[in-house]
Structure 1
Amino acid sequence: MTDPKDLAARIDAELRERSVPGRADQERAYLKSELEHYGVPVPMVRSVVKRALRGAGLDRGDATALVAELWSVPVYERRAAAVEVLVASVGLLGSEDVPLLERLIRESRTWALVDVLAGSVLGPLVERDPGLVGTLDRWAADPDFWIRRSVLLAHLEALRAGGGDFDRFGRYADGMLEEREFFIRKAIGWVLRDTSRKRPELVFDWILPRASRASGLTIREAVKRLSPEQREAVLAAR
């Protein structure tokens, strides 16, 4: 077993070594980030984490300690690495780790971290533990739109694969459908679009009676994979 603090230091050193000249400032501006940036491409961050975890033998406590250690320094790539540790360790996590996820989502303040935490960590936990629906209900009414966005994106991977609970997603999406926040409108459309890959009729039947309430952004995303006839019917209903 590797000490989480030592492992975090090794990950940090490797991330620094892989910084790309000029990328840090560009990325920081693009994400409107207040964090320090090393300028490491996302695939390289994932590769660094994958190598670091190979043979490390982390249990749940070690994994969450490593996440906390990486996250404690306000550097974007360290926090992105922390997110990747959670993704890699999601099988070890349970409902008791949701407060940690909530804190990280609140502190992320960017889609680049929130979307992975919601889709690839929170989502699988909700699929495994239906008792977490109560948490989603609370989050769906939260003043922080990143928390509300996470409720929607927690359904993304399962629905994209042809499973998941579309009725539950639909209930949350219906309650947020008239919000003006870009990231909420985009998330609703994104989940509908990816659900329609395998179940276009399901998405069509849901969005058609709500077309007049949905934003243009949501509609544009939702109809991308529908048939031309379905698309025309939704657009006409607006």
Structure 2
Amino acid sequence: MIAILFLNHYKKWLREKVLTLIQYCITHKSWWDSVDSIATNVLGHYMKTYPHHIHPTTEKWLESNNIWLQRSILLFQLKYKTNTNLSILFNSILFLKDSKEFFIQKAIGWALREYSKVDSEKVIQFVESTDLAPLSKRESLKWIKSK
């Protein structure tokens, strides 16, 4: 937990080689609260700072079969708003949409719900054209339905 607090506090000074430490923090003694904090704050900042790591990391972590690395890929853009790379988001969701893991399905819905605050039409189109699990679909449309 101390490493997570340290990474979050000093994220602006993180060097490129710290990705290994980020991955370690995500995969050791993992639970949704620590993983979500690392993914949305530390990993999100890291990927903005070192965008050339986005594609190789996304590919590697999606294929890892580690639900916490996969969840992190779904969530690292959560605060990007208009800077969200939809290709990465949608392709990651398509790769993971058949997962039986609750934490993956919930993250799919959360990522789409957050992006729906930027472009609700794109999210509606994606949800309608993709065979998502009921939990992911429900979570993704929550904000749109409450408007």
Q: TM-score, normalised by structure 1?
A: 0.58
The CA distance in 2 between the partners of 1:107 and 1:135, in whole Å, is 18
Residue number in structure 2 paired with 1:91: 12
CA shift in 2, pair 1:100/1:177, >3 Å: same
Distance 2:51 2:70 in 1: 18
Q: 1:147 aligns with which of 49, 52, 69?
A: 69
Bigger RCO of structures 1 and 2 (CA < 8 A, at least 6 apart): 2
- CA offsets, 1:96-145, max 9 Å, x none? 10000111111032011111111100011112222112112100111211
Counting aligned pairs with the same residue, the percent is: 27
**Are 1:114 and 2:35 counterparts?**
yes
Q: What residue in structure 2 maps to residue 220 of structure 1? A: 138
- Please state if 1:136 is matched with 2:54: no
Partner of 1:156, secondary structure, is: coil
CA contact (8 A) 1:83 1:117 kept: yes
The 8 Å contact of residues 109 and 140 in structure 2, kept in 1 or not, is answered as yes
- Measured in 1, the distance between the counterparts of 2:66 and 2:5 equals 23
Contact 2:67 2:104 in 1 (8 A): yes
Match of 1:49 in 2: none
Larger radius of gyration: 1
Alignment pair present for 1:178 and 2:98: yes
| 2:114 is the counterpart of 1:194 | yes
CA distance in 1, matches of 2:117, 2:37: 20
Pairwise CA RMSD:
1.4
Structure 1 residue 157, shift from structure 2 partner: 1.3
Moved over 4 A (4+): none
Residues matched between the structures, number:
145
Give, as a single letter, the amino acid of the residue that structure 1 aligns with 2:138.
R
Q: Matched residue of 2:83: which SS?
A: coil
Give 1:42-61 correspondences, 5 Å limit.
none
Q: What secondary structure is seen at the aligned counterpart in 1 of 2:3?
A: helix
Q: Could you say what secondary structure the match of 1:198 adopts?
A: coil
Greater helix proportion: 2
User: Equivalent residue for 1:105?
Assistant: 26
Q: Which runs of 5+ in 2 are unaligned?
A: none
